[in-house]
Amino acid sequence: MSDARIEKISIIISKGSLESVYPGLIMANGAREEGMEANLFFTFFGLDAIHKARNEHIKLATVGNPGLHLATMLGGLPGMSSVMTHLLDQKMARLDIPSIPEFVEMIADSDAGLFACKASVDLFGLDRDDFIPQVNGIITVGEFYGLAAGGQIIFT
Amino acid sequence: MATMTYVGIEVSTDAEGFFADPSKWTEAMAPQIAAAEGIAELTDRHWQVIRFMRDEYERKGDAPNVRALSKTTGIPIKELYQLFPKGPAKLAAKIAGVPKPHGCI
């Protein structure tokens, strides 16, 4: 292993829950703050993070999330995900962590690339207009690997 | 630890080039630190950010990250990255002779 500085990073966000989207955004933003080149590739339910009607409504998973220490049956109650998301949102606001739409915009302003996965866009019957204007394009896996060339890839 | 010489004065820095002792910094050193980071000329806008980093560090003991820097100064994030392409908060802190900001976001 070489300990050379990482100069470029490509982050794949594949899930649409709050706890899956934030880490990828934090790492992409952190990469730009360190002066690295950064690209974000949104695939499958991760597309919600750049979907203009959905990215304000990304919720914490309250079922199938043992780290939350909430009984599965309680987690499945109607409205539980919204309540827990609201509590976490308040905590994050106190720490001045931006909301997902604001965070994505901030990352776009830092000149990181935002890309939607073509296979997922086709699968869900979406098109360019469903996404926020900051999205640089809808690209194939092959194009993604082309963009990622010479850097590190993180899958979340 | 490393040693750098700016305007003829020797200063200690960490491995990344951040000042070990911010009190050793003078404004005259800034253009030379900036040039080594690829910023050929410091404009008034650069100086606004550099002085702000310095003031915030002196007031709070930690310089702000990009988000807080943009929110407090009113300089858009896009412009901050144009001024300091290799990371606005990090570079401005280095040029201002203060430690690297500790925030994650």
Q: Where are the domains of chain B?
A: 2-95
pLDDT score, position B36: 94
Q: What is the mean pLDDT of residues A107-114?
A: 97
Does residue B104 register a pLDDT over 90?
no
Q: Does domain B2-95 have CATH number 2.40.50.840?
A: no
Candidates B77, B81, B90; nearest CB to A34: B90
Q: Is there a domain that residue A42 lies in?
A: yes
Residue B86 contacts A, CB cutoff 8 Å: yes
Which chain A residue lies closest to B76 (C-alpha atoms)?
A109
For position A48, which CATH number holds?
3.40.1260.10
CA dist., res. A50 & res. A27, Å (int): 16
Would you say A17 and A60 are in contact if contact means Cβ atoms under 8 Å apart?
Answer: yes
- Residues A87-101 pLDDT 10s: 999 999 999 899 999
Q: For residue B9, what are the β-bridge partners?
A: B6
Assigned domain for A105 exists: yes
**List of residues 6+ apart from A147 with CB closer than 8 A:** A10, A39, A113, A115, A139
- Are B68 and A96 within 8 A, CB to CB? yes
Contact A136, A116 (CB under 8 A): no
How far apart (Å, rounded) are the C-alpha atoms in residues A67 and A46?
A: 20
Residue that wins the pLDDT comparison between A79 and A4: A79
d(CA B103, CA B100): 9
Q: CB of B59 within 8 Å of any CB in chain A?
A: no
Chain A CB within 8 Å of residue B78 CB = yes
Give the ipTM: 0.91
How much of chain A is helix, strand and coil, in % rounded to 5? Answer: 45, 15, 35
Task: Indicate the pLDDT class of residue A1, thresholds 50, 70 and 90.
Answer: low
Distance from CA of A108 to the nearest CA of B (A): 9
Q: Domain for residue A16, yes or no?
A: yes
Residue A77 lies in a domain: no
The residues of B annotated with a catalytic role in the active site are 104
- The per-residue pLDDT for range B55-92, each reduced to its tens digit, is 999 999 999 999 999 999 999 999 999 999 999 999 99
Domain assignment of residue A81, yes or no: no
- Is the pLDDT reported for residue A15 higher than 80? yes
Q: Taking CA atoms, what residue in B is nearest to A32?
A: B87
Phi-psi region of B17 (alpha: psi -120 to 50; beta: other; left: phi over 0): left
Residue A149's pLDDT band (boundaries 50, 70, 90)?
very high
A2 lies in a domain? Answer: no
Domain count, chain A: 1
Chain B interface mutation, best of A29, A33, A94, A109, highest count of B Cβ atoms under 10 Å: A33
Query: What's the domain range around A46?
Result: 9-58+100-155
Classify residue A40: in a domain, yes or no: yes
DSSP A34: T
Chosen for mutation from B16, B65, B67 (greatest number of chain A CBs closer than 10 Å) is B67
Q: What is the pLDDT of residues A21-63, one digit of tens each?
A: 999 999 999 999 999 999 999 999 999 999 999 999 999 999 9
Which of A96, A97, A109 has the CB atom closest to B77's CB atom?
A: A109
Q: Where is average pLDDT lowest: A3-7, A27-31, A133-137, B18-22?
A: A3-7
